[in-house]
Every structure is written in structure tokens, then in C-alpha cells.
Amino acid sequence: MSQPEFFDQGALVAVLTTQPLDRLLDYKAPEGGCLTGAFVEVPLGPRKVLGVVWGAGQGDFDLSRIRSVIRVLDAAPMRDEMMTFLTRAADYTLTPMPAMLRLATRAPGLSDPPSMRKVYRRGQGEPDRMTDARRRVLAVLQDYGGLSFTLKELAEMAGVTASVVKGLVKQGAVAELDRPRDLPMPPLDPDRPGKALTDDQAAAADHMRTALRSRTYGTTLLKGVTGSGKTEVYLEAVAECLAQGRQALVLLPEIALTAEFLTRVEARFGARPAEWHSGVTLTERRRVWKMVGQGNAQLVVGARSALFLPFQHLGLIIVDEEHDTSYKQEDGVLYNARDMAVLRAAICGARVVLASATPSLESWANAQSGKYGMVELTARFGAAVMPEMRAIDMRAEKLQAGSWISPSLRMAVQDRLAKGEQAMLFINRRGYAPVTLCRACGQQVGCDHCDARMVEHRFLKRLMCHQCGETRPIPTVCPACGAEDRLAPVGPGVERLGEEAVALFPDARIATLSSDLFGSARALKAEIEKIAAGEADIIIGTQLVAKGHNFPLLTLVGVIDADLGLQGSDLRAAERTFQLMRQVAGRAGRAERPGTALLQTFQPEHPVIRAILSGDEDGFWRAEAAEREVAGVPPFGRMAGIILSGSDVAQVFDLGNALARADAPLRRIGAQVFGPAPAPIARIRGRHRVRLLVKAAKGAPLQEALAAWIAPFRPKGDLRLNVDIDPQSFY
């Protein structure tokens, strides 16, 4: 890596700002000069905006009109490797650089002056008059030796009001000091002993430690069934990385960021890691961002955007549950955190560990071809074994209208209840019923803004559009024909399944888990902990329960509709169903008692259902890979989605047709364009949506061709053009 260049005061520098401009802007270096990579505040029109000094200025502008950088911010300069990462990520995803910089500076108050806060500790003086309250304050300070407290902490611990502490300050018995608000994260100790590993686990951990010692880039797929100890193994890799004095990052799907995981890290390293996800407070975000940049945070546990934190010497990135679809950002900058982790590591010489029980086909293929290393844990830890999996053939079951739990599944649940074990019923659908139908006119209630049905959420007493989030009270009158009290729910959602379970198993304690049944992530976590402790007999859940949680008493998983995911036209429908079913089933039998998973299906002969039941994973991946190879689709070919949207459907199609006609830059690399065609969800939030799909051979320079292709098109008015490289969903 080259040394950052220093610019003397008045020298021209080029600054990348977070504002949507398509070029760097020239400024004069401020008093005291600045380095390449410096975070700065610059004037832009009447405003002050955040930017980064990207290099020497262009000087192609009237020099007398060039303004000065206002000041250099109190933050470690952006490293060369981070600048390279943002540039390459922008090229890969065809994202403008200002949007990349916004991703990399998503913490509030970065331009604030370094802020201080007051802390309190024992002073030299003595109070003129001793009271009980004063004695308690001094006793707390005495008990905790040289530690200092905030006013609130000290008053609370001593059980006094703030004015008692202030009174002691006046008399010099308590000292009031200014401390920087953003404190370093507590140090983690990599030398504390971990758990005694099994032979398999020890071999896997050794492999990773050796890889880390090479201090060069490499990616390893860590494959192992749920409960095999993947987390134990990668924590050993984290320990090695920390012992080398480098920083580590563990990425988890947002939903799996549980207290349980943080507690495990704390048990292993003696302190909690830095956290980075949507639940972190704004002040804590700023602290984490700054401390990561100063090298004062050794380990970050976070959601996908943690990849854009300003690490100083990153040695290891773990992507846990690497197949999880939530790693693909579907809004704003469309990036896949798994792929970006590999890119970032390759630039800075770090290792990547992709952990999963059911890897994505991409990672599986990369391991097969030798591009990634592969380490496998084949057995569950301790007595736990993989659950037995069976189909319930719904064609042979007798079900009443409006019920979804088959007699066979019902008997299996009753059997577990009798034994004092837990059962889980899984349905991947939020709300009460997916469709609300008018029995008078046959119309389904739809969203006014989207091409989607309104889903009844009985718990919230509202209808909700799962596309735009719009809700409205549940109507008693049909919006189409005006008939009264003829609206009926059709089909099951998790809430309705809960209702059925209550009727079928009146004596059981039933817990329904769906994200919208809880006011906050914390309430949900508390509920999950209660369930894990055995405070429920039957758990009814959506996708939320498929991931990461450990329910030791759970021995039966019943999947209400195993066919649900197979219906989509999505390229990855089979892969997703396979992964989800294996994950859900993996919830059963984590402790001493063996588990069973029962899949209700109308098509037990479907190849995907058969592969799930037989557990022949390699067979499934090989078959799936062969099909995609023949079709020339990822990971054996390249794809990009173009999503056009706007309020006027004719304009959107005109743009689509114009793009399709101007495909010369794509033809030059042998790529093909399909479409324009209405997107599967043809209208969202009142905007009409049209898709084009571009397919190219694996080695083709797709991004350059795409950039050349769309460059002449500047969508006007409210028309939007978004490029989605390697689309994960086609909605």
C-alpha cells in the first residue's frame, strides 16, 4: 500500500462528497494541510457537507473560485485499501461513488467536534458536614477504587439525587472531570481457554489458524449441520486473529443477532464485542465507527453494513449463515454482503470464513472448483443427531375446510405433549390469512398502490400490504361491491395456525412467534428465551424461528406447507426451499433427545422434496448445479436485472423498449437482453415496474458493457433505472 500523500495548506485537493454528484470536487487544503483519505467538511453552495480527500485536485476550474476545505474531522483518515474497496464495490454494483461513501459513513455526528462528557471520582477534599446520603456516595467511590462514573450512574448506585453529588463537587470531596464521550471498546482476551474441542472441530480450527498465520487472502467454506459446533470453531479463528493484533468481523443475518451469541463471545473472550446493526443507538453507532477506525475495537459483530466500517487492520471476516437471503441488500445500493466480504478481504489480505449448514450453490460450486477451501463438520456435538425426516402425503389426509393441521401431524404433536417435549409448527407466512375474499362478488381485497393482495393481520386488527407496508382497518363492507359482512379470510397465516392449534390442543401452552406480534426486538428476544427455558409446549412460527435459536426441548417440527416455496418462478426457488426446510428441521433434537421433522406436502415425489427427505445434500447440489450450468445461469453464467419504475406505465415501457433496442454494447460481449416485461409485482407504491434481464457468459466483462449501455439514458421526471447485479429475487 502506498503512503498517503500530504497536501500543504492551499494545495488543490479532489474531494469525494456524500452528495449525489457525478464527479469529485476541487478544494484548497485547509490550514495545517491534510492527507489523502482525510475526512473533511467542505462548503457546497450554502451547505457544509461531509467528504473524503481522494487525491490531488484536477485544476480544470477557475482557480480563484475554488473554496477551502472547512476543516479536517476528528477521525482516522480513510485507508488506501478502503478507498480501493469502495471503488471496486462501486464498479461491481454500478453504484455511484457518493452512495458508496454514504454507506461507509453511516454514523451520526461524524462532523461534530470531539465531544466530552463529565465523569466523577473521589476528590482531595472532605465534606464540611457528613450526611447519610453523602456517606453513601463516598462509600461507592471508595468501593470501586479509582473508577469514575457518570452523574447518573453514581447517583443511582448511591441511591441519592444528583444534587447530593453536585454538593460534594462544590466542596472538593468529589472531582468532576471531562472525558471524551467515545470510549474505546473493552479489550477482549484471546488467550482465555475455549471449550475442549472434538477431534473434528480441533482439526477445523487448526486449519483456520494456519490459514490466518499466512496473512494472505483466502476464503474457506465451513460446512456443518446445525449444532455441529461451527460457532465454536470460528471463535477459535477469531482468537487467532485477535492474538495477531488484527481486527475481526463476524457478520450475522440481522435476525440472528441474538443476546445468546453476544453472551457466547463474552464467555470466550471476557468482554462483549462492538455491535453494529439497526438496533444500536445513534451514540453507540458513532462510538463504534470511531473506535473501529482507531483500532480500538478488536471484534465487531454486525449485520451486512458492518462491512463498510473503517477497519484499520482487518484480519478475518466470518459470514455466518452465508446462504441467508438477508445478506443481499434489496434497497438503495444493491450489494451482496457475502461477495463484498470476499472483495474486501482480497484487497486487505484478510481471511474469509463462510459458515453454513446449507451453503448457497455459489459457495458450494466455488469450493468444488477449488477457488474456496472447504472444511466440514459432519456430526452434531454430543448426543444430538440429525432429525429423522418424513413426508405427510396431504392427498391421503382428511382435513376439514379452514384447517391445516393433518390428523397425522396432530397425533405426532399429541405424542410429544404427552412426553413433556416441545413441538414446533412452521409456516412461512405472516398474518392471519393471505387473502380476504368477498363471498358476494368474488373479489379479493387488494392494495390501492401495489399489484398485491392485502393480508389480514388479526392481531393488529388491520389489513396490511406486504409490499409497501400500507395498512387499513379490516373492512366489514366489500370495497368492490358494497356487500356487508361477506368478507372471508382464505388460506392460512401464522396467526390463524395459532388459532387452530389452540382449538386442537386446548391444554397446551402455545407461543406464536412472528415479527409483527411483538412491539420490539427486545420483547421478541425475551419471548424466545422463555420458550428455550421450556415455558411453551407448542411453538408456532414463521421464518423467524428457522434461524439460530436453540430450543433444547424441541423434538418435533411440523412444516405446514412444504410446497409453498416451490411455486415461484425464481431461479433459486429449489435452493431456497431445500435450505429452509433443512434449517427448520434442524431445530428439532438439538440436545439429548432425537428429533423428527414432518413435512406436509401434496407432491411427495417432487425431486426437491425427495432430496430434502433423503438428506442427500451432495446429490441435490450436483443436480441443481447441472441444471443451472445447462441454462447458463449463476454461478455458471452472469446475470443482471434492470428494474425500471415510474408513475406512468407507458413512459416506463418506452424506456424499456429503447434500452432493448440499444443493446449493441451488450451484443459486443455476447450478452443477451430479455424483456422489457412487467415485473412479477407490476406496481409498488403506485409505481409501475418493468424488468429487463441481461445474461452473459461467466468470464464476460458484464459491468463495463452495462455501464456503456445505460450511460446514454438519463431517466427523466420520476422514472428510475436500477441495476441489480446477480439478482437474488425477481419480484
| Residue numbers at the binding site for ligand ADP (CB under 6 A) | 195-198, 201, 224, 226-232, 381
Query: Between 181 and 272, whose beta carbon lies closer to ligand ADP?
Result: 272
SS3 603: coil
Nearer to Zn ion, 393 or 470 (CB): 470
For ligand ADP, the closer CB: 317 or 412? 317
CB of 235 to ligand ADP, least distance (A): 8
Q: Which is nearer to ligand ADP, 232 or 500 (CB)?
A: 232
Nearer to ligand ADP, 137 or 225 (CB): 225
User: 230 or 466: whose CB is closer to ligand ADP?
Assistant: 230
Supply angle C-alpha 286, 288, 289, rounded to 5. 65
Among 450, 474, 517, 612, binds Zn ion (CB under 5 A): 450
Smallest gap from Cβ 83 to ligand ADP, in A, equals 35
Residue 465 binds which entry of Zn ion, ligand ADP, none, CB below 5-8 Å type-dependent: Zn ion
Residue 51 interacting partner from Zn ion, ligand ADP, none (CB closer than 5 to 8 Å by kind): none
* Minimum CB–partner distance for residue 592 and ligand ADP (Å): 12
Kindly tell me which of 121 and 264 has the beta carbon lying closer to ligand ADP.
264
Nearer to ligand ADP, 205 or 705 (CB): 205
94, 45 Cβ separation under 8 angstroms: no
**Partner from Zn ion, ligand ADP, none binding residue 467, C-beta < 5-8 Å depending on class:** Zn ion
H or E segment and range at residue 294: helix 282-294
Residues 33, 71: Cα–Cα separation, whole Å: 10
Residue 196 or residue 418: which is nearer to ligand ADP going by CB? 196
Comparing CB distances to Zn ion, the nearer of 136 and 449 is 449
State yes or no: residue 449 binds Zn ion (CB under 5 A): yes
Contacts of 626 (CB under 8 A, 6+ apart): none
| Phi, psi for residue 512 in degrees, rounded to 5 | -105, 125
CA dihedral 352, 356, 360, 361 (to 10 degrees): 90
Q: Which stretch binds Zn ion (CB under 5 A): 466-474, 618-626, 631-639, 668-676?
A: 466-474
- Could you tell me the smallest distance in angstroms from the CB atom of residue 693 to Zn ion? 24
Quote the least distance from Cβ 72 to ligand ADP, whole Å.
Answer: 44
In degrees and rounded to multiples of 5, residue 199 shows phi and psi of -60, -45
Q: Least distance (Å) from ligand ADP to the CB of residue 252?
A: 11
**Single-letter amino acid code for the residue at 627:** E
Burial group, residue 349, by CB count within 10 angstroms (0-12, 13-18, 19+): middle
Quote the strand ranges of 647-699, DSSP E: 672-684, 687-697
Give residue for cell 416451490: 566
What count of Cα atoms within 13 Å lies in the side-chain half-sphere of residue 717? Answer: 10
Work out the angle at residue 409's Cα, subtended by the Cα atoms of residues 406 and 411, and round it to the nearest 5 degrees: 110
Residue 13: CB minimum distance to ligand ADP, A: 47
- Regarding 455 and contact with Zn ion (CB under 5 A), the answer is no
How far the first Cα of the chain sits from its last, in Å, is 42
Nearest to 568, CA basis, from 447, 363, 428: 428
Residue 542 burial by CB count (10 A; 0-12/13-18/19+): exposed, middle or buried? buried
Sole window of 166-174, 258-266, 443-451, 628-636 interacting with Zn ion (rule: CB under 5 A): 443-451
Q: What is the 8-class DSSP label of residue 718?
A: T
One-letter amino acid at 347 equals I
CA angle 364, 726, 712 (to 5 degrees): 160
- Nearest-approach distance from CB 651 to Zn ion, in angstroms: 21
> What number of other Cβ atoms are within 10 A of residue 210's Cβ?
10
Contact pattern from residue 290 through residue 329 relative to Zn ion, giving x for each residue in contact according to CB under 5 A and a dash for the rest: ----------------------------------------
470 binds, among Zn ion, ligand ADP, none (CB under 5 to 8 A by kind): Zn ion
Buried b (16+ CB within 10 A) or exposed e, 490-521: ebbbbbbbbbbbeebbeebebbbbbeebbeeb
Residue 230 contact partner, candidates Zn ion, ligand ADP, none, CB within 5 to 8 A by sort of partner: ligand ADP
Distance CA 469, CA 464 (A): 6
Could you give the CA distance from residue 166 to residue 216 in angstroms, rounded to a whole number?
55
198 binds, options Zn ion, ligand ADP, none, Cβ within 5 to 8 A by partner type: ligand ADP
Shortest separation between residue 431's beta carbon and ligand ADP, angstroms? 30
Shortest separation between residue 370's beta carbon and ligand ADP, angstroms:
24
Closest to ligand ADP by CB, 41 vs 240, is: 240
Which of these segments, 189-197, 294-302, 441-449, 602-610, binds Zn ion (CB under 5 A)? 441-449
Task: Please choose, out of 185-193, 321-329, 440-448, 640-648, the segment that lies near Zn ion by the rule CB under 5 A.
Answer: 440-448
465 binds Zn ion (CB under 5 A): yes
Q: What does 558 interact with, of ligand ADP, Zn ion, none (CB < 5 to 8 A by kind)?
A: none
Count of residues that bind Zn ion according to CB under 5 A: 7
**Residue 682: is it exposed, middle or buried by C-beta count within 10 angstroms (0-12/13-18/19+)?**
middle
| Other beta carbons within 10 Å of 278 | 10
Cβ–Cβ < 8 Å for 433, 455: yes
Return the residues of window 467-496 that contact Zn ion according to CB under 5 A. 467-468, 470
User: Minimum distance from CB of 540 to ligand ADP (Å)?
Assistant: 23
Task: Pick what 396 binds: Zn ion, ligand ADP, none; C-beta below 5 to 8 Å, kind-dependent.
Answer: none
Nearest residue (CB) to Zn ion, 141 versus 454: 454
Which residues inside 650-669 make contact with Zn ion, applying CB under 5 A? none
Q: Which is nearer to Zn ion, 466 or 496 (CB)?
A: 466
Task: State the nearest-atom distance from the C-beta of 78 to Zn ion, in Å.
Answer: 40
Distance, in Å, from the CA atom of 336 to the CA atom of 330, rounded to the nearest integer, reads 9
Q: Which is nearer to ligand ADP, 95 or 226 (CB)?
A: 226
Question: Taking phi first (over 0 means left), then psi (-120 to 50 degrees means alpha), and beta for anything else, what does residue 370 get?
Answer: left
Q: Is 74 in the site for Zn ion (CB under 5 A)?
A: no
Q: From the list ligand ADP, Zn ion, none, which binds 227 (C-beta under 5 to 8 Å, kind-based)?
A: ligand ADP
We find the least distance from the C-beta atom of residue 278 to Zn ion, in angstroms, to be: 22
Q: Is 462 in the site for Zn ion (CB under 5 A)?
A: no
Instruction: For residue 179, count other CB atoms closer than 10 A to its CB.
Output: 12
Contact with Zn ion (CB under 5 A): which of 249, 317, 384, 447? 447
Pick between residue 183 and residue 267 the one whose CB is nearest to ligand ADP: 267
Q: Which stretch binds Zn ion (CB under 5 A): 342-350, 446-454, 531-539, 648-656?
A: 446-454
Per the rule left: phi > 0, alpha: psi between -120 and 50, beta: everything else, 48 is beta
Measured CA to CA, the distance from residue 508 to residue 388 in angstroms comes to 24
Which H/E stretch holds residue 42?
A: strand 39-44
Closer to ligand ADP by Cβ: residue 372 or 381? 381
Q: How far is the CB of 226 from ligand ADP (least distance, A)?
A: 5
CB of 53 within 8 A of CB of 35? yes
Footprint of Zn ion (CB under 5 A): 447, 449-450, 465, 467-468, 470
